[in-house]
A and B are shown apart, each in its own frame.
Chain A
Amino acid sequence: MTKQKKPGLVPKNKLVSYAVNLVLLVAAYLLFFVLIGSGVINRYTSGIMTTMFINIILTVSLNLVSGFLGQLVLGHAGFMSVGAYTAALFTLYSGLPITIAFPIGIVLAGVVAAVFGVIIGVPALRLRGDYLAIITLGFGEIIRVIILACDFTGGAKGLRGIPTILPQGSDATSLSLAKYSYVFWLAVVTVVVIWAFVRSRHGRAVIAIREDEIAAEASGVHTTYYKLFAFVMAAFFAGVAGSLYAHHIGVLDPSKFNFDYSVEILLMAVLGGLGSITGSIIAAIVLTILPEFLRGFEDYRMLIYAVILIIVMLFKPSGLMGQHEFSLSRLVSRLTAKRAGGAKQGKGE
C-alpha cells in the first residue's frame, strides 16, 4: 500500500484530480459569469445566487464545528453579524475607495469575528457540549442586544447606506458580476481551506475529539487547543459571510441575526450531513433555492423546516451524505474501473 512514494512529492493522481477540479471550477465560474453578464440570469436570480454562496460559506464553516468537532453551536448568526457590522462600518467610514475598502473589510470582518470567537471560545469550550450550545446562543443574543442598544450600529433602525461594492455610477450588471465573483471565489476558498484542514493532521485531531474526547487527549491531542482552533476558524468564515451579506443587501437589520437564523444554518448543515462538506454545499444550495419555488407557502416554510428537522433526526440523523464526501475523481475512477472489468483493488471509503 505504501508503494514507491518519494518523500516531498505530491502523488500524481492527486495532482491530476486537483487540476480537473480547478478546470471545472473555472468553467463553472465563467459559465455563470457569461449568463449573468448577458442578462440570461436576471438580477433577481443572481441575487439569490449570491445568497446561496453566502449560505455555503456559513454552512460549511458551521459544519467544521458541529460536524467535524462535534460541538453544537447555536450562535453562528452572532459571528456573522459581528462580521457584517465590522465590514459595513469599515466601508462606510474608512474613507478609502470602495474597491480597496471592501476587500480589507472582508478580511477585517473575519478577523474581528475570530477575535470574538476566541473571547467566547476560551471560556465556553472548557464546558461540556450542551453548555457550549447555550453559551453560543446566549452570546448571539448578547451581540444582538448590544447592536440594538448602540448608536454607531444604527440601533433598532439598522445600519443604512452601506456602499455598494463598486464605485458609484457603475451599472447594475457590473455590480451583479462583481458580487457574484466575490461570493463565488470566497465560497471556493472557504470550502478548499476547510477541506484541506480536515484532511491534515490538525483536522484528524479535531475529528478524534468528536469521536472520543478522552481517548483523543490520551493519544496526545491537545483537545482544548484544537477545539478552540476549529471554533475560531468557523467564526472567521462566519464573519466573512457577514461582510458579504452586508454589502449584498446594503442594509443591516439586527433582528435578522437572531436565533432562528442560526438554526436555519444549522438545519442546512444537519440535512447535508454533519461531517460532510459536500453535503453542506448541496443542502445550502437546495435550501436557498427551494423557498423560491415555495413562494405561496411562505407561512409554512419554518413549520416545514421544523418537521423535516425532527424527521431527519429521528430516522436519518446522519443527513443526506452522512460523513461521506462526493468526489468527482473517485466517481470517475470507479466508473472507469467498472468499465475496465472491475479489477480495482482497495476501496474508496
Chain B
Amino acid sequence: MAESEKKSVPVLEAENLSIVFGGLHAVDDVHFTLHENQIMGLIGPNGAGKTTVFNLLTGVYTPTTGQIKLDGRSILGKKTYQITKMGVARTFQNIRLFKDMSVLDNVRVAMNQKMNYSALAGILGLPSYWREEAAVEEKAMDLLRVFHLEGHAQDRAKNLPYGQQRKLEIARALAGDPKVLLLDEPAAGMNPTETAELMETIELIRSRFHVAILLIEHDMSFVMGICEHLVVLDYGRIIASGTPEEVRTNPKVITAYLGGE
C-alpha cells in the first residue's frame, strides 16, 4: 500500500552498480530506486556488501561500473563532501561523532555547507558572521530539540550515552537538509525499548524533513516494521527485492539467511 502512493518521484537511482576489490566482486550489478519520502531497507547477511553500497553512494569508493543518480543527475566521480552538499547524508555503522566537540558544534559543523560568510568575515567579526552564526545556532537548537538533545547542547559529544550518540549522529546528518538519508545500522546495540523509540523517530524524520531514507539493519522486526521496500543482498548481488511481505516469503532469502549464518 505504501508502495503505490509513493511511486511518484525517484530521488536516488543506482544502476548496475559494481565494485571489484582485488578480483572480488564486493558489489555486483546492484540496482535500485529510492523514491521521495520512501523508507527502504538494505538487508543481507554479514559481508554481503551493504556498507560498501553506502560507500559507493557517498563517493568513498568509486564504482568499477554503473551509475548513481541523484534527482536524475549523475553523482559519479564526485567527492564525498560534494555528494553530501548535493543532498546525500549518512551515518556510520560504528558511530563517528566529533567526540571532543560540543553536541551543538557537531550539528553546526554539518551546517557549514549552507553557510556563506568568508574566513575574513569570521576573523574580523563582520555583521555577516554574527547574523549567520545566530541563525545557525537557532536552527541547530531546533534540530536538537527534535531529538530531545537540547539540554545537552553544550556537553561534549563523547559524554552522551550510546543511544543519544546515535540520535546526534542522525541529527548531524539532517543538519545539511539532505534529500536522502543513509542510516547504517541505526538500531545496532539498542535494547527493544530504544529500538521502538528509534522507529518512531525515523517516521518523524521522514514526515518532518521530507527525506527519503535508505537504511541497513539486521534487526528484522525493525526492518519489517518500518521499511516500505526491501533490497536483499548476498555476496554483493541482489537476491530479492520487494515489499517486506514479498521478501519474507522469498525462498532465496530464507536460504541466504539460514544457509549463510
Interface of A toward B, CB cutoff 8 Å = 1-2, 5, 7-10, 193, 196-197, 199-205, 207-208, 211-212, 214-223, 229, 323, 346-347, 349
| Contact between chains at B81 and A221 (CB < 8 Å) | yes
Nearest residue in A to B132 (C-beta to C-beta)?
A: A201
| Contact between chains at A201 and B98 (CB < 8 Å) | no
| Contact between chains at A10 and B125 (CB < 8 Å) | yes
| Contact between chains at B141 and A1 (CB < 8 Å) | yes
| Contact between chains at B108 and A201 (CB < 8 Å) | yes
Nearest residue in A to B157 (C-beta to C-beta)?
A: A211
Residues of B within 8 A of A217 (CB): 79-81, 84
Residues of B within 8 A of A204 (CB): 101, 105, 108-109, 112
Given A203-B122, A220-B110: A2 and B97 within 8 A (CB)? Answer: no
Number of interface residues of B (CB under 8 A): 50
Residues of A within 8 A of B89 (CB): 218-219
B260 at the interface (CB under 8 A from A): no
| Contact between chains at B153 and A229 (CB < 8 Å) | no
| Contact between chains at A219 and B150 (CB < 8 Å) | no
Residue of B100, B111, B115, B119 near A323 (CB, 8 A) is B100
Given A200-B129, A215-B96, A222-B81: A1 and B153 within 8 A (CB)? Answer: yes
92-150 of chain B: CB within 8 A of chain A: 92, 96-102, 105, 108-113, 115, 117, 119, 122-125, 127, 129-138, 141, 150
Residue of B92, B99, B115, B138 near A2 (CB, 8 A) is B138
213-227 of chain B: CB within 8 A of chain A: none
Residues of A within 8 A of B105 (CB): 204, 207
Given A200-B119, A201-B122, A203-B122: A215 and B97 within 8 A (CB)? Answer: yes
Residues of A within 8 A of B175 (CB): 219
| Contact between chains at A218 and B90 (CB < 8 Å) | yes
Q: Which of the listed residues A196, A199, A215, A217 has the most CB atoms from chain B within 10 Å of its own CB? A: A215
Residues of A within 8 A of B124 (CB): 196
Q: Which 9 A-B pairs have the closest CB atoms?
A: A200-B122, A220-B113, A211-B98, A215-B96, A220-B84, A219-B110, A208-B109, A8-B131, A217-B80
Nearest residue in A to B178 (C-beta to C-beta)?
A: A220
| Contact between chains at A218 and B112 (CB < 8 Å) | no
| Contact between chains at A229 and B119 (CB < 8 Å) | yes
Residues of A within 8 A of B133 (CB): 201
**Cα(A218)–Cα(B172), bound, Å:** 10
Given A204-B109, A205-B109, A220-B113: A196 and B123 within 8 A (CB)? Answer: yes
Residues of A within 8 A of B101 (CB): 204, 207-208, 211
- 20 sample A-B contacts, Cβ–Cβ < 8 Å, listed by A number: A1-B141, A2-B138, A196-B122, A197-B119, A200-B117, A200-B123, A201-B115, A204-B112, A205-B112, A215-B96, A217-B81, A218-B80, A218-B90, A218-B92, A218-B96, A219-B113, A219-B172, A221-B81, A221-B109, A349-B102
Beyond A1-B141, A217-B84, 7 additional contacts (C-beta under 8 Å) are A8-B131, A202-B122, A205-B112, A211-B99, A212-B96, A218-B84, A221-B109
Residue of B111, B127, B176 near A8 (CB, 8 A) is B127
**Cα(A212)–Cα(B100), bound, Å:** 10
Q: Which of the listed residues A211, A323, A347 has the most CB atoms from chain B within 10 Å of its own CB? A: A211
| Contact between chains at B123 and A9 (CB < 8 Å) | no
Residues of B within 8 A of A212 (CB): 96-99
| Contact between chains at B109 and A1 (CB < 8 Å) | no
B58 at the interface (CB under 8 A from A): yes
| Contact between chains at B135 and A215 (CB < 8 Å) | no
Nearest residue in B to A233 (C-beta to C-beta)?
A: B119
**Cα(A218)–Cα(B153), bound, Å:** 21
B85 at the interface (CB under 8 A from A): yes
Residues of B within 8 A of A203 (CB): 122
| Contact between chains at B129 and A220 (CB < 8 Å) | no
Residues of A within 8 A of B80 (CB): 217-218
Residues of B within 8 A of A202 (CB): 112, 119, 122
Residues of A within 8 A of B123 (CB): 193, 196-197, 200
Residues of A within 8 A of B207 (CB): none
Residues of A within 8 A of B16 (CB): none
B154 at the interface (CB under 8 A from A): yes
Residues of B within 8 A of A9 (CB): 130
184-241 of chain B: CB within 8 A of chain A: none
| Contact between chains at B58 and A5 (CB < 8 Å) | no
**Cα(A346)–Cα(B150), bound, Å:** 12
Chain A nearest CB, measured from B62 CB (Å): 15
**Cα(A205)–Cα(B79), bound, Å:** 17
Nearest residue in B to A18 (C-beta to C-beta)?
A: B125
Nearest residue in A to B125 (C-beta to C-beta)?
A: A196
**Cα(A194)–Cα(B40), bound, Å:** 45
| Contact between chains at A201 and B96 (CB < 8 Å) | no
| Contact between chains at A211 and B81 (CB < 8 Å) | no
Nearest residue in A to B117 (C-beta to C-beta)?
A: A201
Chain A nearest CB, measured from B76 CB (Å): 17
Chain A nearest CB, measured from B180 CB (Å): 13
Q: Which of the listed residues A204, A207, A223 has the most CB atoms from chain B within 10 Å of its own CB? A: A204
| Contact between chains at A1 and B122 (CB < 8 Å) | no
Given A212-B97, A217-B80, A219-B176: A5 and B115 within 8 A (CB)? Answer: no
**Cα(A167)–Cα(B51), bound, Å:** 68
Nearest residue in B to A10 (C-beta to C-beta)?
A: B130
| Contact between chains at B98 and A207 (CB < 8 Å) | yes
| Contact between chains at A2 and B127 (CB < 8 Å) | no
| Contact between chains at A216 and B131 (CB < 8 Å) | no
**Cα(A197)–Cα(B134), bound, Å:** 17
